[in-house]
């Protein structure tokens, strides 16, 4: 369970989020694509994706965003409310290439009874950066 709640007063600028390695498989990509109602063949049909010039079928953007949000809330806890996520998209996430998620706290501010935290996030595989950006979330103050 990810029910463990991060105490907002224990979050400081420069804190690193724990590294998360996602073993990207065909199943992971297809499960995410269909759960997000994205039936584009490049996200489930390797032959089709290769014919379109890709090295393999690849993860769709909705799934990438879902994993980035999960990466942050797994660490921040169930009281977290994600306010925005700004992502620059890079190389593809493809089967057989582990996607490594890393992150760091960029800022912590108190606003209207909440602690608002911005973290940088990066998901990269051996091909390079898949997605980089920031996630802004809040936690209630005790």
Partner 1 sequence: MTDAATDPVREGLERYVGRPMGPPSLAPDPVNVPMIRHWVAALDDRNPVYLDEAFAKTTRHGGIVAPPAMLQAWGMPTPKIEGIAERGGAPADYREDNPISALDAAGYVGTLATNSELEFVRYLRPGEQLHVSNAVDSISNRKTTGMGKGYFVTWITTYETSDGELVGKQLFRVFKFDPSTLDLSKLGGGK
Q: Are 8 and 115 in contact (CB under 8 A)?
A: yes
Q: Among the candidate windows 7-15, 83-91, 96-104, 117-125, which touches partner 1 by CB under 8 A?
A: 83-91
> Rounded to the nearest whole angstrom, what is the least distance from the CB of residue 127 to partner 1 in the complex?
11
- 122 by DSSP, 3-state: which? strand
| Residue from 26, 54, 56, 79 in contact with partner 1 (CB under 8 A) | 79
Among 38, 95, 104, 105, interactor with partner 1 by CB under 8 A: 38
In the beta sheet, which residues pair with residue 22?
A: 99
User: Which has the closest alpha carbon to 83: 7, 6, 138, 132?
Assistant: 138
Torsion-angle region of residue 85: left (phi > 0), alpha (psi -120 to 50) or beta? beta
Q: Is 121 in the site for partner 1 (CB under 8 A)?
A: no
Q: Which of 16, 18, 21, 39 binds partner 1 (CB under 8 A)?
A: 39
73 forms part of the interface with partner 1 (CB under 8 A) = yes
| Cα 101 from Cα 121, distance rounded (Å) | 7
The residues of the shown chain that bind partner 1, judged by CB under 8 A, are 1-3, 31-32, 34-42, 45, 48, 61-63, 65-70, 73-74, 78-79, 81-91, 128, 140
């Amino acid at each position: 369970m990810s029910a463990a709640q991060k105490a907002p007063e224990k979050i400081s600028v420069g804190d690193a989020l724990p590294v998360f390695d996602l073993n990207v498989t065909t199943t992971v990509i297809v499960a995410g694509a269909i759960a997000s109602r994205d039936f584009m063949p490049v996200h489930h049909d390797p032959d089709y994706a290769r014919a379109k010039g890709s090295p393999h079928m690849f993860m769709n953007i909705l799934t990438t965003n879902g994993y980035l949000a999960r990466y942050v809330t797994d660490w921040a806890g169930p009281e977290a409310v994600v306010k925005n996520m700004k992502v620059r998209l890079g190389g593809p996430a493809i089967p057989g290439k582990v996607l490594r998620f890393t992150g760091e706290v960029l800022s912590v501010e108190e606003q209207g009874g909440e602690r608002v935290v911005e973290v940088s996030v990066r998901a990269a595989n051996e091909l390079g950066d898949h997605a980089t950006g920031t996630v802004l979330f809040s936690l209630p103050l005790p």
